[in-house]
Amino acid sequence: MLNTILVVSHVGVSLVLILLVLLHAGRGGGLSDMFGGVSGASMAGSTVVERNLDRLTVVASLVFTFTTILLSIRLT
């Protein structure tokens, strides 16, 4: 039962992580331009939306890491 919950959560976090990575800006505008931001509007660096996207990506990657470790321990 616990293995099933771990596998389902691992797949869900994997899909969320893929989505979050694809939302990051490449060389051009990225997420801020997609939602109507002006490119180069922030002289200090990233916008609030991009900083929150970075935080969400880090949290998702940590959850992914922990579920990977837990699955490797449980399935061996």
* Residue 62 CB coordination number (10 Å): 11
Predicted local distance difference test score (pLDDT) of residue 7: 94
Tell me the H-state helices in the chain: 2-23, 31-34, 48-74
Q: pTM for this one?
A: 0.73
Residue 32 above 90 pLDDT?
no
**pLDDT tens digit sequence for 56-71:** 999 999 999 999 999 9
Q: Does residue 5 carry a pLDDT above 80?
A: yes
Listed by start position, the domains of the chain span 1-16+46-76
